[in-house]
Amino acid sequence: MGVPLFATSLAEHMPRITERLAEVAASGRYILGPEVEAFEGELAARLGARHCVGVANGTDALAIGLRALGVGPGDEVVVPSFTFYATAEAAAAIGARPVFCDIDPGTFCVTAETVERAFTPRTRAIVPVHLFGNVAPVEDLRGLGVPILEDAAQATGATLGARHAGTLGDAAALSFFPSKNLGGLGDGGAVVTDDDEVAERARLLRSHGSHDKQTYTAVGYNSRLDALQAAALRVLLPELEGWNERRRAVADAYAAHGLGEHAALPEPTPAAEHVYHLYVVRHPRPDELASRLAEHGIEARSYYRVPVHRQPAMAPYLSADGPPNLPGTDEAAATNLALPMGPELSAGEVEEVVAACASGST
């Protein structure tokens, strides 16, 4: 059957998930309600945050998070270009201007230096991305003096020092897309914050700008986490820490079996506990490596080959001088390759991947 890129399975949890879904279906409470409130409280407690506001998906979490932090039309938001398109899309969707910064190709994350180079007097927020399960050095960005919205969609459960990703900035956006470390049975997301006013604003915006369905004080969204998704996520949340530990064990096994002799291994940010949503290496000829792996029945995939600042829809947001010079982004885009990763990946499969990477290498 080969080695899959995403080595995950919910099979052992499906009986309990099915039971919980039936309970919610019988309750008749499908939108927000006690199931969502319970999940919000449980996830906030696990992350060490005061508030968790469930929304329909991770992209809405970014847009609502930015607006809850006071970002609006005409404001500039510094975002990395080596990321999923939604990071910049959310800023553009609320009328702000995404301004693209570079990354460190070793960690795949922004740094204080790359962010500062993109700053202008119109900068109103920074969106550092905890890419592939690593954690961006958010504390280093504090001195720049604008709100920070973490894009933690790929890093639920990761930590930097003693704090969880999602609790390092002023607010954070999470995603529960099925492939994520904490994935549901469809779309889902959340805004996490310690700020009472930001949380209140996010709750208002997720429900059409109204708290009572009578008075509308903002133009908001229809973006609420479904109770059915919350029920499934409540079953899976207690498994998150163990799953992430197994992901780290797979990463350690890759290194122990000598993968670093054939590709540049991912570099955790100093003091970070990476959770390896994806295990992404760098290689001078990633397409050749992917083809060699495919010959052995091993899935591999490059991500973000066309960085966001080079996407056609982002052209109106570039300066008159054209695309910015982002050498770290260009290097990461040209050299990255995701190898199989997940809590279900066996020791034998790790050895198989490393052996295939070694075959034909010079």
Decide if 75 is inside a domain.
Answer: yes
Give the containing element (helix H, strand E) for 93.
Answer: helix 86-93
Both 225 and 295 in one domain: the answer is: no
Contact at 8 Å (CB) between 35 and 234?
yes
Q: Residue 1 has what pLDDT? A: 60
CB 232 within 8 A of CB 21: yes
138 and 61 together in one domain: yes
Last residue of a domain, one of 207, 238, 269: 238
Q: Which residues contact 123 (CB under 8 A, 6 or more apart)?
A: 75, 76, 77, 78, 99, 144, 146
Is residue 2 assigned to a domain?
no
74/155 same-domain check: yes
233 and 249 co-located in one domain = no
Look at residue 323 in the predicted model and tell me its pLDDT. 77
Burial grade of 208 (CB within 10 A; 0-12, 13-18, 19 or more)? middle
Integer Cα distance of 307 and 330 in angstroms:
8
Domain boundary among 218, 238, 258: 238
230, 244: one domain: no
Give the structural domain span for 192: 11-238
Shortest CA distance to 226 belongs to which of 31, 38, 34, 57?
31
CA distance linking residue 314 with residue 308, whole number of Å: 7
**CB burial string 336-348: b at 16+ within 10 A, e below:** bbbbbbbbbbeee
Residues 177, 203 within the same domain: yes
pLDDT at position 89: 98
Q: Which CATH number covers residue 312? A: 3.90.1150.10
pLDDT along the chain (362 residues), means of 10: 91 96 95 96 98 98 98 97 98 98 98 96 97 97 96 98 97 97 97 98 97 92 97 98 98 98 97 98 97 97 97 93 89 98 97 93 52
Q: What is the DSSP string of 230-270?
A: HHHHHHHGGGHHHHHHHHHHHHHHHHHTTGGGTSBPP-PPT
Has residue 5 been placed in a domain? no
Number of domains in the chain: 2
Could you tell me if 216 and 243 lie in one domain? no
